[in-house]
Amino acid sequence: MNLLALIASLLPALGAAVTAAGGRDLRHVKFWSTAPVGAALLLTLLVAIDHGSGGASVHTYSIGTAGAFHVEIGTRVTGLSAIIAVLVAGVAICVQVFSTTYLGGEPRYPSYAALISLFTAAMLTVVYSADLVVLLVGWEIMGACSYFLIGHYWEKPEARPASIKAFLMTKAGDVPFLFGIIALGVQAHSFQINAVLAATGQDRLHHPAWIAFLLLCGVLGKSAQFPLHSWLPDAMAGPTPISALIHAATMVAAGIYVVALLYPVFALCQAVLIVMAIIAAITMTGAALCAFAQTDIKKILAYSTVSQLAYMLGGLAVGGRSQAIYLLLVHGAFKALLFLAAGVVIHRVGSNELSAMGGLRYRMPVAYTTMTIGLLALAGIPPFSGFFGKEAVLGAAYNATGEFAAPGRIVLIFGLITAGLTAAYSLRLWLGVFHGPFPDAPHEHEATVEAPQPELIPLILLAVPAALLGIVVLFGSGFSNYLGGWYGEAGAAGADLWPGGLTTLLSLLFVLGFGGLVFLAWRRDEGADPARALLGPVRPALVNGFYFDRLIDAAVVRPTRAAARLVGFLDANVIDAYVRGSGTGARGLGTVLRRLQTGSVQFYLTCLFLGVVIMAAVYAYVGTVS
């Protein structure tokens, strides 16, 4: 099982290397970008089936020592890692197949396909790693790949700043995350995940709250949570399939996975849980409001991702580890579907703007059907998977007790509000793209052509789990038992994913209420944007993300540039002045000494005599004074 997990992690990396080395032979590139990832998906499925409900299966190889620490690489398979690996590989193969026609004709397609494979390998490394240092390596490789992929269209003016912004904001969280990893390893006397969890369970961690806060910073950056969230909407400058990969199964999912993996560290301190709940509440509600105001369909889905990830972080804050991971799985399915379907629409219409769309349901039947399923799941409409995922988190918040009670109240209140807002922007997107009048535009004839089969097949495949993954709740606490307990032991007690009851009734009321307002506003003036009527004067602030980028610019960017200018001034006019002065002085002294070298013996004897006289005079003066 561990060997299969190791091979599954290496296969996409091999595919990336061979794809990059294959030049521009499209058949070569398409095969090596899809076949290794497809094989990795098969292996992850075998690992998940073989694992069953066992504990943590660990197999490592020692490669040396570094001071007091043994350096080991290897794999650690648990129910949590096995099921997340299936999600990663499944979405990755759909994205690779989709890209063969979506981007297959571009000259930069080989490098793009290679980076996707490397991205997949890095995420699988994070998921299967038995060691925190190896996990960190995969974590950082994902950051580098995201930088290149977001900036794939580097000739576009918005792509380069977006890639740099994503890199810098995630690195702002990665630096404290690194210190948190170091602190865990030093205090546990090992970087092996099992050893770290055992040390946590034995109360051998000093200052666990500080460690949890450091780790949380990295999670906020990777999973785009407040205040490190604004890079994700700008990342839409990259190709749409990349958005599907990043938003559904890799990078942003990595942060939630790490919290679930190291959950005992976070659960040791209630203050950390409350901070997580507050951050989740701010992010889920704020991002949902911003999504409702956007006119670019990719940005609507991007803010939706930020909001849904906050749901998962909120679930972890209230003790709902299994519930948060379940939402992560169903979200990966329907969000990948939504981004790929949006890519089909954008490719055919030629614009990201809702104003350029409308009435596409008859012209694009497959995209219409599959995207409708995805939006129903996102909006939390039963019996689609998103309904059960959302209800699982809300139920965990409602039933939270003990140290989880205070975070539970926060998450429950804002979670219900966000449920209504999610239904509102989902309905607005559906009506704006597929209903109403079709705009008169030069691209109208292109929209009558359905996408090629390599683009449609992933949509159909992803629509199945988006619609049917809700059946997992029928197994009661079986899903929680499969994931394992906080320390990876088998048969850990877990609550049912969907407890039902009051939270379900309340959330459905919010969904119907907010959705009804949007539908009435749209019906009042069919074809008009409901957001303009419902949001009124606050809409510009929401379109611009509460002007958060301006705040960052004023609080961070401008002071940093001012400090850089000051450092440049000091370097050029102070430090360089000293360096130049020392050089000038040395040259001047050399000139003087050179002129003294006349070759005249009489001159040398005269100088010697004068030196002796001066020394004697100084000695006599000093003796007289003393």
Q: What is the pLDDT of residues 468-489, one digit of tens each?
A: 998 888 777 778 888 876 543 3
- Which residue did the predictor score with more confidence, 101 or 526? 101
* Tokens found for residue 122: 């890095």
How confident is residue 495, by pLDDT bands cut at 50, 70 and 90?
low
pLDDT score of 243 more than 50: yes
- Least Cα distance to 470 among 590, 381, 533, 548 occurs for 381
* Tokens found for residue 88: 């990663």
pLDDT score of 491 more than 70: no
How confident is residue 493, by pLDDT bands cut at 50, 70 and 90?
very low
Q: What's the mean pLDDT when you consider all of the chain?
A: 88
| Residues in contact with 116: Cβ distance below 8 Å, sequence separation at least 6, in sequence order | 33, 92, 95, 96, 99, 149, 241, 242, 245
**How far is the C-alpha of 407 from the C-alpha of 275, rounded, in Å?**
8
pLDDT score of 53 more than 70: no
DSSP state string for 503-520: HHHHHHHHHHHHHHHHHH
Instruction: Give the start-to-end residue ranges of the domains of the chain.
Output: 1-268, 270-483+501-543, 556-625
| CB count in 10 Å sphere of residue 160 | 15
pTM of the model: 0.89
- What is the phi-psi region of residue 528: left when phi exceeds 0, alpha when psi lies from -120 to 50, beta otherwise? beta
Give me the mean pLDDT over the 158-163 stretch: 90
CB 273 within 8 A of CB 356: no
Residue 605: per-residue pLDDT: 82
The CA–CA distances, whole Å, from 237 to 103, 249, 340, 550, 585 equal 15, 19, 15, 19, 55
Q: How far, rounded to the nearest angstrom, does the alpha carbon of residue 188 sit from its chain's CA centroid?
A: 27
Residue 35: per-residue pLDDT: 93
Helices 270-293 and 208-222 cross at an angle (nearest 10°) of: 10
**How far is the C-alpha of 436 from the C-alpha of 434, rounded, in Å?**
7
- Least Cα distance to 116 among 42, 44, 33 occurs for 33
Biggest CA pair distance of the chain: 113
Give me the mean pLDDT over the 550-571 stretch: 88
Task: Give residue-wise pLDDT tens across range 438-470.
Answer: 665 444 444 445 778 888 999 999 999 999 998
pLDDT score of 74 more than 90: no
Task: Give residue-wise pLDDT tens across range 85-115.
Answer: 999 999 999 999 999 988 877 888 899 999 9
CB 347 within 8 A of CB 454: no
Helices 240-248 and 132-150 cross at an angle (nearest 10°) of: 160
SS3 129: strand
CB 353 within 8 A of CB 295: yes
How confident is residue 436, by pLDDT bands cut at 50, 70 and 90?
confident
Residue 489: per-residue pLDDT: 34
Q: CA triplet 475, 479, 480: central angle to 5 degrees?
A: 125
Give me the mean pLDDT over the 523-533 stretch: 81
